[in-house]
Structure 1
Amino acid sequence: MISTYFLISILAISLAARTPEERAEKKANKYSQAAGTCLSCCERGDMGPQGAQGPPGVPGIQGPSGQPGMHGNHGSNGMPGPNGGKGERGEKGDRGAFGPKGERGVSGVPGNPGGPPGPRGVPGPEGPQGFQGATGAGEPGPQGIKGDLGPPGITGPEGQKGDKGLKGSQGNDPPRPPQSAFSVARETALKAPGSSNVIITFSHTFINTNNHFNSNSGIFTCVYNGTYYFIAHIYKASSNSWPIVRLIKNNVNQLAFMDYGSDSTDSTSNSLILHLVKGDKVWLSLDAGKALFSGTNRHTTFSGFLFAWD
């Protein structure tokens, strides 16, 4: 390969060293020699017409390989292909190594204490009496301390009935329960002023045990703690100023009753039971601007009594 390339290079150099005139003359001499004519003494005629193209020559020897060309530019990136189908699930991996030991957790809340101790068990049966030991060889000891009194023996049979005893002296009377009762009546009519209520007073007394009711003030004062019953009757003699009466305990209204209607004369009543303590006060009150009637026939009354003491 190297020798052939060297020969071709020498031939090319020799041809390039000739001038165009030398090459033309050499060519003409070649043709003259071929025709048997001497051209050194003869004139050169005009160039004949171009002959026909000869057959292709034998292919020349392949020239040496050229130097490698420069790398071309990278082509543009193609469009991304479609997403592939979901692959099959891989095999289960090996178990990982154990992690480091975690820190100690916070202590929990203490539990509730246990329940109370259970009940004491039933005592077991008494064991059998042991055998009497042998009498010791020593001298008898001093007398021991007197033992505790044994349990009582079985009750003996009932004895004969004794003679009747002498009659005893008369005992004291049982204590009497406290008493508190009153019953009073008015004998005149009463009309309250238009600006305030008035306490109803009573001029006639049927009974006033221990004087717990004050007829002048119309107020009952409790002396004995207990349960009391109260009842009141009122009478009207006018259809215009019909009465409204209230039962008051310590300035607090307990109940009210009235006689309302077109009748000029009529009566009504009401009652209740109260528990009182010493010092409580009870009275009847007539509303402002109202009137009640009473006369010698004592139409308007007020009564109360203790029936259960503490």
Structure 2
Amino acid sequence: MKIPPKRSNTTSLDWKLGDKEVSVSKPTTHLGIIRSEKNENISAVIFLTDIMIPLIAIFYVVTIAGATSSCQTEDGQYDVTVNFRGKNGQETPKSTVIAFYAYISKPIPNPSSGRRLIFDVPTTNQGNGYNSNTGVFTCPKTGTYVFVLVVRLYSAYHSIQLMINNSVNGTSFHNAQNDDNTSSSTVVVNVSKGDTVYVRTHSKYKGVGNIHTNTYGRTTFSGWLLN
């Protein structure tokens, strides 16, 4: 029986990725040697599975994922380094949060008509648009806003107005005659940067009784940028 010449135990592959020549040596772990006992001919059968699958994966990464890749063989494995190009992986700027929430700390006895309500204790003021000294929210950014008013009354009734730049944009009537009651109103409105928003009692209607507030129930004013 003749001894076949010694064969290399690696298969070398050369191809081009972008502008780089890449050479990969892959151990031919599936090189099958078939010996014929009759004629002692030796046929080498190379199974291409281990070679084609990595090539397909690299082709996908380079052409579809938009990457520049380099690869090498180490311990029989393919290593691929991917660097994304173009717009892939771009981060979008974080949205600006604009929101406030404040409440009245002490009851307001028999407020006159057209009186601006000052919610003197802010607990949230993202964007610094609300002024707790004046009760006015100055819009930091143009957009659609939600404003919510919660009024607690005790043996009282009042009409309340939401004002934007001294124009009425919402009116609600709160009634708690011979009772202790809390009610709310909501306004969704487009506001421009620099516009002022505040709450007042109705300018032409004088209510009766106190606007109430304490630790068991607050009169509050809040708002936030919806879009």
- Equivalent-residue separation in structure 2 for 1:246 and 1:235 (angstroms): 15
Are residue 216 (structure 1) and residue 133 (structure 2) matched?
yes
Where do 1:1-310 residues align within 5 Å?
Answer: 161=56, 162-163=58-59, 164=61, 165=69, 166-168=81-83, 171=89, 173-191=91-109, 193-194=111-112, 196-238=113-155, 241-287=156-202, 288=206, 290=208, 291-308=210-227
One-letter identity of the residue aligned with 2:147? F
Distance 2:111 2:102 in 1: 23
Change in 2 beyond 3 A, CA 1:222/1:173: same
Offset of residue 199 of structure 1: 1.1
Residues 236 and 292, structure 1, Cα contact 8 Å, conserved in 2 = yes
Which residue identity lines up with residue 226 of structure 1 in the other structure? Answer: G
Counterpart CA distance in 2 for 1:286 and 1:298 is 20
**1:63-117: CA deviations, max 9, x gaps?**
xxxxxxxxxxxxxxxxxxxxxxxxxxxxxxxxxxxxxxxxxxxxxxxxxxxxxxx
Deviation of 1:255 (Å): 1.7
Give the TM-score normalised by the residue count of structure 1.
Answer: 0.43
Change (3 A) 1:261 1:171: closer
Q: Which has the higher contact order (CA 8 A, sep 6+)?
A: 2
CA distance in 2, matches of 1:254, 1:168: 54
- Deviation of 1:294 after TM superposition, in Å, equals 0.6
Percent identity of the aligned residues? 25
Q: Give yes or no for contact 1:247–1:282 (8 Å, CA) kept in 2.
A: yes
Give the RMSD, CA atoms, in angstroms. 2.4
For 1:206 and 1:255, how far apart are their aligned partners in 2?
24
Q: Which has the larger radius of gyration?
A: 1
Distance across 2 between alignment mates of 1:261 and 1:193: 15
- Rounded Cα–Cα distance in structure 2 between residues aligned with 1:229 and 1:252: 17
Q: Structure 1 residues 198, 262: closer, same or farther in 2, change over 3 A?
A: closer
Q: Is the 8 A contact 2:152 2:217 kept in 1?
A: no
* Unpaired runs of at least 5, structure 2: 1-54, 62-68, 70-80
1:188, 1:261 → 2: CA distance? Answer: 18
TM-score, structure 2 as length reference: 0.57
4+ runs deviating over 3 angstroms: 160-164, 169-173, 191-194, 287-291
Count of residues in correspondence between the two structures = 146
For structure 1, the residue ranges without an aligned partner over 5 or more in a row are 1-159
Q: Give CA-to-partner distance per residue, 1:242-271, whole Å, 9 cap, x none.
A: 222111111111121122353331121110
The Cα of 1:171 is off from its aligned counterpart by 4.9
- The structure with the largest strand share of the pair is 2
CA drift at 1:289: 5.3
1:179: how far off?
Answer: 1.9
Cα deviation for residue 201 of structure 1 reads: 0.9
Q: Is the 8 A contact 1:248 1:284 kept in 2?
A: yes
How many angstroms does 1:200 deviate by?
A: 0.8
Q: Does the 8 Å contact 1:187/1:297 carry over to 2?
A: no
